[in-house]
Amino acid sequence: MKKCKIYSTAKNTEAEAVIVDGLVLLPAPRRADIEPTHISNGHCYYPPLYAASFAEGMYFDLMPFSVECEWGEYADEDDSPVRGWFAFYSGDEYKVKCGYCDTKTGRICIPPEMEHCEDFNKYGVAIFGGLADFDYNSEFYKNYSDELKDEWKRTRDGVYSGLMNTKGEIVSCRGYVGIEESCHGVFFGYQTADGWGVADSEGGELIEPLWDGISWDGMGGFTVVNKARDDSKTYGIKNGDNWHGNVVVSGLTKEPTTVYDFPPEKRRENLSWDENFYQERFRLTQKGDRYGLVRDVLENPDEPLYTYSEEILEPIHLYEDIPDAAFQAWVEAQIFYYARIMSRTPRNVPGRIGDGWNVVPDDIVDEVKKYMISNDMKQPETIDEMKP
């Protein structure tokens, strides 16, 4: 019987436990509904789920635990991927090691060979790695600001971290100086000497780690931060690197966190949008005393990473002018859109009634025709006259 601890990083709590025959167990009063897994000196021991309330609701029935042990003491193989990973990235030795046990049985599922590991998310991925051994409450750090100390904690300078799946396999291809979980299975990773980037729960890189800071609330593009030499900050909104035109807006003087309550009567509908499939919101952008507008779109609520931002207005407007300016921007976009549609819609198609103009909103028909004339765009009479 060896002492250990179970814990939850998400719930910020822990409990004393023991390891008996490869099982992580906790002392608890005898229950009438289940027999104890182990009895010693009159004490009953149960798996975590039946002895600790915070063991409930853990994803995949796996929870982290820590124990002082030797390398390979609870592993099936002498050299595990985790041990090799640590040897390559940090080379640190540590007595207390972390792993994962099954909450219902107590069985050790992923052997304790990490210096630190966190709860699994609902996508089956967890952060593992090292812990910086700094006491930020000590006398040495008393003159440093809380903001700076929080930043140091966030990056855990000089300590490497990665991502692991429920099989104990390493899914991140990098050794991050620091990493933290965001929304919907997205992680922010800090790469040495470069900056913050974004990875998904499969270890795929969404944004290259080149930014001084990143935030995301689960909808639209990521908010990125650049720091100048004088420590001043500028902000931007960036879609993932796989999106076309991924930099939405940059050089903002204020972080774009304000959700703008756009007046419904100024909202210009677009016939190409499926109103029942996507979700949207608007955020203000700001450069000095001028404002712009960004539309955040979630294409599929069941696939949270299918989300992006698009700029409706550059930050060159007065605050009170935003609704009218946005409405006009949408009108102009529709005029361009329908002009292209009509330049590819033959006037005479067998079996069809009308000349195709019925698809154009009534209030912009004249404007679409004017646009086509001024840009030398013509509606073909037949399919044969369509330009390739």
CA distance 232 to 243: 28
Separation CA 113–CA 386 (nearest Å): 67
Integer Cα distance of 345 and 348 in angstroms:
9
Local structure of 169: helix, strand or coil: coil
- State how far the alpha carbon of 321 is from the alpha carbons of 19, 292, 293, in Å: 67, 10, 11
pLDDT for 318:
98
Tens of pLDDT, residue by residue, the chain (388 residues): 999 999 999 999 999 999 999 999 999 999 999 999 999 998 999 999 999 999 998 989 999 999 999 988 998 665 677 887 877 776 667 899 999 999 999 999 999 999 999 999 999 999 998 876 667 777 877 888 887 777 666 666 567 788 999 999 999 867 788 888 899 989 988 776 678 899 999 888 899 888 999 999 999 999 999 999 898 999 999 998 877 668 999 999 999 999 999 999 999 876 455 555 678 899 999 999 999 999 999 988 788 888 999 999 999 999 999 999 999 999 999 999 999 999 988 887 765 666 788 889 999 999 999 999 999 999 888 777 665 5
**Per-residue 3-state assignment (H helix, E strand, C coil) for 190-214:** EECCCEEEEECCCCCEEEEEEECEE
Question: Over the range 196-232, which residues count as b (16 or more CB within 10 Å of their CB) and which as e?
Answer: bbbbbbebebbbebebebbebeebbbbbbbbeeeeee
Q: Cα dihedral angle (86, 89, 91, 94), rounded to 10 degrees?
A: -40
pTM for this prediction:
0.81
Closest CA to 334 of 385, 267, 278: 267
Q: Calculate the alpha carbon distances from 278 to 38, 275, 296 in Å.
A: 53, 6, 10
Per-domain residue ranges for the chain? 1-120, 123-211, 333-385
pLDDT for residue 145: 84
